[in-house]
Amino acid sequence: MKSNQCRSLFLTLSCMFVLAGLAAFAQEPREGVIYWEEPLTETAAGESFIQNGPDARKAPSCGDGVQQDGDLCFITSTAWETQTHPLTGLDVGRLNGGQNVDFVAC
């Protein structure tokens, strides 16, 4: 009888240790698992991640030949393909294994 009680006590304590371990492990973030930080809600007006107003737009110094962080300038575009129907799909990559970028369009 005493032996059975000891065995039960031992099993109970073992289970408690295992459960405690599992609980501790569950609290540690693990790679590949998705954790939710907070419920999904729409961001309130005024909290946009796009800044508004003229100050938010950087003034470029186009074509001065000096690359500064924030320079955003383009030469007037050149047409390379004209179709009778609109081209809705476009991809770029290396078709011929060369160093230069090629394109396909459909």
Partner 1 sequence: MVSRLGTSSGSFYNTQTRTMGDGPTAIKMGDFNNDGITDIMATNLNKDRVRIRWGHSNWQNWSFYSTGDGPRELVVGDLNGDGRDDFVTANTGDDTITIGVKRSGSGFRLNTLYVGTGNSSVALADMNNDGDLDILHDGAGRLRLRLNNGSGSFGSPITLVTSPTGNTSFPSIAVADVDGDGFRDVVANHGYDDMVLVRRTAWGQYRTPEFAAVNPGSLRKIQIHDMDDDGHRDIVTIEGTTTINIYLGNGNGTFSSANVIDTPTTFDFEVADFNNDGFLDLLHSGNQTRLLLANP
**26, containing H or E segment:** helix 2-27
Query: Residue 18 — left, alpha, or beta (φ > 0 → left; ψ -120 to 50 → alpha)?
Result: alpha
Task: Select the span of 6-14, 19-27, 65-73 touching partner 1 (CB under 8 A).
Answer: 65-73
The residue (of 5 and 28) whose beta carbon lies closer to partner 1 is 28
Q: Which amino acid appears at position 23 of this protein? A: A
- Are the C-beta atoms of 68 and 75 separated by less than 8 Å? no
- Are the C-beta atoms of 87 and 103 separated by less than 8 Å? no
70 binds partner 1 (CB under 8 A): yes
Query: Interaction with partner 1 in 73-92: which residues (CB under 8 A)?
Result: 73-75, 77-83, 86-92
Dist. CA 68–CA 73, nearest whole Å: 11
Task: Select the span of 2-10, 17-25, 37-45 touching partner 1 (CB under 8 A).
Answer: 37-45
The residue (of 23 and 74) whose beta carbon lies closer to partner 1 is 74
46 binds partner 1 (CB under 8 A): no
Q: Which residues bind partner 1 (CB under 8 A)?
A: 29-43, 47-54, 56-58, 60, 62-63, 65-75, 77-83, 86-106
